[in-house]
Structure 1
Amino acid sequence: MSNGAEPQTQSLSSRERCPKASGLESLAPLVHSVEETPDPIPTTIKGTIPAWINGSLLRNGPGKFEFGEDRYTHWFDGMAMMHRFHIYEGNVTYSSRFLRSDSYTLNSEKNRIVVSEFGTLAMPDPCKNIFARFFSRFQVPKATDNANVNFVKYKGDYYVSTETNYMRRVDPQSLETKEKVDWSQYVAVNAATAHPHYDREGAAYNMGNSYGRSGFFYTIIRIPPPEERTEKEDSADLSGAEVICSIPAPESRKPSYYHSFVMSENYFVFVEQPIKLDLLKFMLYKIQGKSFHKVMSWEPQCDTIFHLVCRHTGKESQVKYHAAPMFTLHQINAFEENGFLVMDMCCGDDGEVIGEFTLENLRRDSGEEMDKFYNSMCRNLPRRYVLPLNVDEKAPLDQNLVNLHNCKATAKKTKPEEVYLTHEELHNDELLQYGGLEFPQINYNEYNGRPYRYFYACGFGHVLADSLLKMDVHTKELKVWHYPGLYPSEPIFVAAPTAAEEDDGVVLSVIITPRKVISQLTHIYALKRKKLQ
């Protein structure tokens, strides 16, 4: 809860600061079911793809929104469709497959929705008698394996993942679905994020949770680097995975929702934000006829708390870092400098936004209806928080401890083992013209956990991303790629093989348009160094 030690200032939210939009076109064509393309097809190339780009761009997301007469209600619920753009010697082929998850298979067999998702509750089988339908509501809801969020890599294998305890191993070339993997069979967690981090030795790190009689814990997991494997060992292998830190939730029955976590060279940071999950409602939501996202609540009376953990020992710092309530899904980068941990994140002022991406909202008519929805939404903007790493009894009270050059973020010790943070806006007013940003990416292999200068993201001048952005965090200069009617996906930075500078390379993004929707998404844009053109 807010400690009251830090005076609360009146400031405009990102919703109030961003210009109002008008005349927005409908996005309905972008959120409808598509057909898979399992056999690779050629694509039309406009311009030139650098000859050194050879490999596959793998994308994942919802691609089917109904079974029979049943319809999903939330964008996050659609059945996972995997996409592969294979780039070789300036040519590109495209293929796609639906993930053959248990959810997809069962729904297909019954020709209706039988597995609940984030925003859609599966109803009892109408063919059962009234007593069977009644008691089915009291069954513990099963977690979905509809892994439609991200491609991840553990010990050399590729998986698609979501935010439950289940992943699916996949073949990155054929997109064939392989075995279902349950995190809890390898390590004591009930779920894990779809956004792991990787170190330079090849180990992977993720964040999960566990709960039982002793309470609810946020857990940090380490998966060791890949070992040499024989061709006969064609099976999932998460052996050696271990929980290296467990952070108890202050309220065991109302833990914080999280989508990702922060990692620097020597530290993890778990951001405990005031989006709460009511576990009692979670156990009852099926009885009450509510979908999972209804158990989440935005509670802005609570502070945001940053938990600092040493990567080498797994020990959590006794110091708790508090900040004003905010909402974050994705971190940009974090690094250590002169006794401080600098964290850059995409943040918003209203955590209710996660429940607003219903298909009903996304399919609103062009013009007034779509404008009204967009203008009511909170925008996420880049912010910098700075954590002083050496806070002891000698640190003065109520004085700014941050002395980094040209840094406007503050950190004040308000009581023993508690520090209150205020952020620095990591942008200028130009960004507001593009509606804020999300899905940040950096030159990850070289600069993750280290001081950096550039990141790339999607701009949101519409409900879905409608521009690509390049941000210089030193100067806050912005470069923009935007064409009306084109909607890009998360940008992926690929460094040139002879890169001498941080931004020497290209950015890859899949572009689609509602004016001419192509079920085989065949547009890839390569954005050259220092330009978005």
Structure 2
Amino acid sequence: MDTFKHQKSRSSGDKNTKSRKNPKHFTDVHGLPCIEKIVTSVEDIPEPISTNIIGMIPNWINGNFLRNGPGKFEMGNHRFNHWFDGMALLHQFKISNGEVTYRSRFLSSDSYQTNKEQNRIVMSEFGTLTMPDPCKNFFQRFVSRFELPKPTDNANVSFVTYKGDFYVSTETNIMHKVDPETLEAIQKVDWSKFIAVNGATAHPHTEPDGTVYNMGNSYSSKGAYYNIIKVPPTKVAEEETLEGTTVLCSIPAEDKTKPSYYHSFAMSENYVVFIEQPIKMDLLKIVTGKLTRKSISDGFSWNPKLNTILHLIHKLTGKVSSIKYLAKPISTFHQINAYEEDGFLIIDLCASDDGQAIANYNIQNLRKSGEALDEVFCTHEDLHGEDLHKYGGLEFPQINYSKYNMHPYHYFYGCGFRHLVGDTLLKMDIRRKEMKVWEHPSLYPSEPIFVPCPYATEEDDGIILSVIITPNKDKSTFLLVLDAKTFKELGRAVVPVNIPYGFHGTFSSTA
């Protein structure tokens, strides 16, 4: 069957396909409230400590709420330049019978250990280039500038699962298997030992049977390629990690020396959807960074003259659609959901019409106050009413993933972004285009995670978990629990330590 006809795309029949999008979600850095403490280093708390419960934590919630993000922003007298560079700090909120304990642990990565031992930044990160070792002689320092940048293993973006095991991940080829009970790193795992990729995203998608799909780049003399990765659902032997992983297909970059940056991708029942956006990575600048004294982030650029390209890959065959789907230039970090319905493929995502998002997260900003193909040009439909604009747009989207990922759905949850980090929690009704809001001045919520109630009968039967950062009040960070249906506060667990603003997390039930 022809790929275009078999796939289900929102189209009027004349190949004017529509994909949904959210409005611009990053704001000007001027006039910000003081959020410096959001990127202030903290100490880890390896042993669990009690929290102060205010209100009520439902007794049916039993499990670990795991979070990941940067927790240390300097080593000795050296400071990291970018929010993405901070040393990974893993968090666990253990919820049981209405009580909550908290612990945290710095990831014992090579980057962290080496930096700590030498009391300076030794390992380069995304926005920070290491300085030459002052103990080396001039010749040694000069030669070191010609070395290729070593990929960081500072996995500070997310918790992910493969074959039932928990990993912390960033966007390089290195992950760390982690014990979700103690937060201790168990094993360093290199994607390139199993498949020919130079990294993978921290946002894989999981099928109901446990099969996981991801994406990763590869580079060769022929140029850059985007690879669709497939990880089997179960282990054959206890000692294996990513054994059996395969590359479903490879897609050549439009510009072989300047592939697009991507943070995540979309997946429906039958298709992987990759969005090739006009945020470009100049490979020459990146590989010569030590010589030119430029960080990896200096090799990123936004080209508004380029269209966005949507690639559709059939999951069963690995075949890429011969139809080229185009959209106006947009930048996107996170896709919300994708599903097939009535002959259409619906893609919902958070998007911006400029590519400045990555540059906005420099620490100084946060501390301020060949073959002829058919072409389809995609337009968008907003998922919201005008009331969203006053919240600055939306990011960190989450849904009732276990039940509604790859299926038609009604609700998603996210953070309103007016101040570079989330300052409100939002529940979006995409059918009625209505919105519920949780908002308190000087409180900064993190990514909202949906946890379904036992025996839930409706999509929003459950609770929302979000860590609330309180930069203007010492040692008062708390875990917020909202009723997902009403978006009213049920309770909070106040932690007697400071916690920096993090990235992503997950809930692992122990019931």
TM-score by length of 2: 0.89
Q: Residues 212, 510 of structure 1: CA spacing in aligned structure 2 closer, same or farther, 3 A cutoff?
A: same
Q: Residues 151, 19 of structure 1: CA spacing in aligned structure 2 closer, same or farther, 3 A cutoff?
A: closer
Q: What residue in structure 2 maps to residue 156 of structure 1?
A: 164
Q: What residue in structure 1 maps to residue 262 of structure 2?
A: 258
Q: Residues 337, 258 of structure 1: CA spacing in aligned structure 2 closer, same or farther, 3 A cutoff?
A: same
Aligned pair partner of 1:503 in 437, 460, 465: 460
Does 2:466 align with 1:462? no
- Structure 1 letter corresponding to 2:354: D
Residues 212-248 of structure 1: CA deviation (Å, up to 9, x unaligned):
123211001111112476xxx4x55111110011111
In the TM superposition, what is the alpha-carbon distance from 1:22 to its structure 2 partner? 8.5
For residues 474 and 311 of structure 2, the distance between their equivalents in structure 1, rounded to whole angstroms, comes to 44
Secondary structure of 2:181's match? coil
1:262 touches 1:331 (CA, 8 Å); kept in 2? yes
For residues 466 and 124 of structure 2, the distance between their equivalents in structure 1, rounded to whole angstroms, comes to 31
1:19 touches 1:433 (CA, 8 Å); kept in 2? no
Does 2:40 align with 1:32? yes
Q: What residue in structure 2 maps to residue 243 of structure 1?
A: 247
Q: What residue in structure 1 maps to residue 275 of structure 2?
A: 271
For residues 263 and 251 of structure 1, the distance between their equivalents in structure 2, rounded to whole angstroms, comes to 24
- Structure 2 letter corresponding to 1:289: R
For residues 27 and 105 of structure 2, the distance between their equivalents in structure 1, rounded to whole angstroms, comes to 39
Q: Residues 193, 20 of structure 1: CA spacing in aligned structure 2 closer, same or farther, 3 A cutoff?
A: closer
C-alpha RMSD of matched pairs (Å): 2.0
Q: Residues 329, 307 of structure 1: CA spacing in aligned structure 2 closer, same or farther, 3 A cutoff?
A: same
2:310 touches 2:325 (CA, 8 Å); kept in 1? yes
Structure 2 stretches lacking a partner, 5+ long = 1-14, 17-21, 490-511
Does 2:285 align with 1:296? no
Aligned pair partner of 2:429 in 462, 465, 472: 472
Structure 1 stretches lacking a partner, 5+ long = 1-5, 8-12, 365-369, 371-414
Matches within 5 A, 1:179-190: 179-190=187-198
Does 2:54 align with 1:43? no
Matches within 5 A, 1:67-146: 67-146=75-154
Residues 146-198 of structure 1: CA deviation (Å, up to 9, x unaligned):
00000000011111000000001111000111221100001111110000000
For residues 85 and 524 of structure 1, the distance between their equivalents in structure 2, rounded to whole angstroms, comes to 11
- Structure 1 letter corresponding to 2:460: D
- Structure 2 letter corresponding to 1:260: S
- Structure 1 letter corresponding to 2:385: N
Does 2:361 align with 1:357? yes
Does 2:447 align with 1:486? no
Does 2:83 align with 1:62? no
Q: Residues 120, 87 of structure 1: CA spacing in aligned structure 2 closer, same or farther, 3 A cutoff?
A: same
Q: What residue in structure 1 maps to residue 497 of structure 2?
A: none
1:274 touches 1:299 (CA, 8 Å); kept in 2? yes
Q: What residue in structure 2 maps to residue 213 of structure 1?
A: 221
Secondary structure of 1:351's match? coil
2:392 touches 2:417 (CA, 8 Å); kept in 1? yes
2:332 touches 2:351 (CA, 8 Å); kept in 1? yes
In the TM superposition, what is the alpha-carbon distance from 1:531 to its structure 2 partner? 2.6
Q: Residues 224, 64 of structure 1: CA spacing in aligned structure 2 closer, same or farther, 3 A cutoff?
A: same
Q: What residue in structure 1 maps to residue 485 of structure 2?
A: 529
2:92 touches 2:104 (CA, 8 Å); kept in 1? yes
For residues 27 and 104 of structure 1, the distance between their equivalents in structure 2, rounded to whole angstroms, comes to 25
Q: Residues 424, 139 of structure 1: CA spacing in aligned structure 2 closer, same or farther, 3 A cutoff?
A: same
- Structure 2 letter corresponding to 1:187: I
Matches within 5 A, 1:16-31: 24-31=32-39
Residues 13-37 of structure 1: CA deviation (Å, up to 9, x unaligned):
956x999899642111111100000
Q: Residues 110, 236 of structure 1: CA spacing in aligned structure 2 closer, same or farther, 3 A cutoff?
A: farther
For residues 257 and 144 of structure 1, the distance between their equivalents in structure 2, rounded to whole angstroms, comes to 17
Aligned pair partner of 1:338 in 314, 336, 342: 342
Aligned pair partner of 1:282 in 279, 286, 291: 286
- Structure 1 letter corresponding to 2:431: H
Q: Residues 18, 490 of structure 1: CA spacing in aligned structure 2 closer, same or farther, 3 A cutoff?
A: closer
- Structure 1 letter corresponding to 2:287: M
Secondary structure of 2:441's match? coil
Q: What residue in structure 1 maps to residue 185 of structure 2?
A: 177
For residues 290 and 22 of structure 1, the distance between their equivalents in structure 2, rounded to whole angstroms, comes to 26
For residues 43 and 279 of structure 2, the distance between their equivalents in structure 1, rounded to whole angstroms, comes to 36
For residues 228 and 209 of structure 1, the distance between their equivalents in structure 2, rounded to whole angstroms, comes to 27
TM-score by length of 1: 0.85
In the TM superposition, what is the alpha-carbon distance from 1:530 to its structure 2 partner? 3.2
Secondary structure of 2:143's match? helix
For residues 355 and 491 of structure 1, the distance between their equivalents in structure 2, rounded to whole angstroms, comes to 24
For residues 23 and 214 of structure 2, the distance between their equivalents in structure 1, rounded to whole angstroms, comes to 30
Secondary structure of 1:479's match? strand
Q: What residue in structure 2 maps to residue 377 of structure 1?
A: none
Residues 321-374 of structure 1: CA deviation (Å, up to 9, x unaligned):
00100000000000111211000000001112211211111111xxxxx3xxxx
2:463 touches 2:481 (CA, 8 Å); kept in 1? no
For residues 191 and 85 of structure 1, the distance between their equivalents in structure 2, rounded to whole angstroms, comes to 29
Q: What residue in structure 2 maps to residue 392 of structure 1?
A: none
For residues 487 and 424 of structure 1, the distance between their equivalents in structure 2, rounded to whole angstroms, comes to 29
Q: What residue in structure 2 maps to residue 326 of structure 1?
A: 330
Percent identical: 57
In the TM superposition, what is the alpha-carbon distance from 1:51 to its structure 2 partner? 1.1
Structure number with higher relative contact order (C-alpha < 8 Å, ≥ 6 residues apart): 2
In the TM superposition, what is the alpha-carbon distance from 1:314 to its structure 2 partner? 0.6
1:21 touches 1:461 (CA, 8 Å); kept in 2? no
